[in-house]
Amino acid sequence: MTARGRAFVRHWTRIERPALVPEIRLHLAGALMPLWEATARDAGDPELPPPYWAFAWAGGQALARHVLDHPELVRGRRVLDLATGSGLCAIAAALAGAREVRGVDIDPLAIAAVGINAPLNDVHVAAACRDLLDEPAPDVDVILAGDIGYEWNLATRGARWLRSAAAQGIEVRIGDPERHHLPPEGLEVLEAHDVPTSLDLEQTTSKHTTVLRVMGGAAG
């Protein structure tokens, strides 16, 4: 990602610790609308999706907490963080001892954010602006997907792709604050957290969030 993207991320954020994972520091935004408008202005595209990379979403926080509390899931293994956003789950995996960590997202500013947030936590994450969901699952041991259930298209495409990855023997975990778009088949609830959230972002101060294991027998 360009120096310009990184400068944009720095300008619009401040360093904070997500409530559920205070071990991790991230460049995060206080309010959604001013940043969304600035991002759309900068890109010259009024239809631009929200700047997801600037927030530690409830699903990502619960999943990052799960990884830090269960380092054996990733220790010495190759990890992909799908829809990495700020890089929160990828950074948690690296801190928990993963051998290699990749993060992918379709938003170039997310890649810029990961490029700043990973070194802030003294870890390396190889971040790429890619949509992998029409490709075979990559050669990794673990896939993390924080908060991908917020819109129908990503939730259904993502769930299908993750189920097929799990069927190949990859350990797959999703963090989902009950966004209701994820098809429930083949998902095992491992734990739940009440994640503090902002009224500005979620219209509530807490989101009940589950960490789900995608079961390997349910490919399709």
Ligand X SMILES: C[S@@+](CC[C@H](N)C(=O)[O-])C[C@H]1O[C@@H](n2cnc3c(N)ncnc32)[C@H](O)[C@@H]1O
84 binds ligand X (CB under 6 A): yes
Task: Tell which residue, 92, 40, 91, has the closest CA to residue 65.
Answer: 92
Q: Which range touches ligand X (CB under 6 A), out of 3-11, 27-35, 48-56, 193-201?
A: 48-56
Q: Distance between CA atoms of 159 and 74, rounded to whole angstroms? A: 21
3-state secondary structure of 177: coil
Binds ligand X (CB under 6 A): choice among 45, 131, 178, 200: 131
Binds ligand X (CB under 6 A): choice among 24, 29, 85, 118: 85
Cβ atoms within 10 Å of 31's Cβ, excluding its own: 12
Inter-residue long-range contacts of 194-198, CB under 8 Å, 24+ positions, other chains counted: 195/19, 195/20, 195/58, 195/61, 195/62, 196/19, 196/20, 197/58
Binds ligand X (CB under 6 A): choice among 88, 91, 98, 140: 88
137 binds ligand X (CB under 6 A): no
52 binds ligand X (CB under 6 A): yes
Q: Nearest to ligand X by Cβ — which residue?
A: 60
Name the site residues for ligand X (rule: CB under 6 A). 52-53, 56-57, 59-60, 82-86, 88-89, 104-107, 110, 131, 133, 146-147, 150, 154
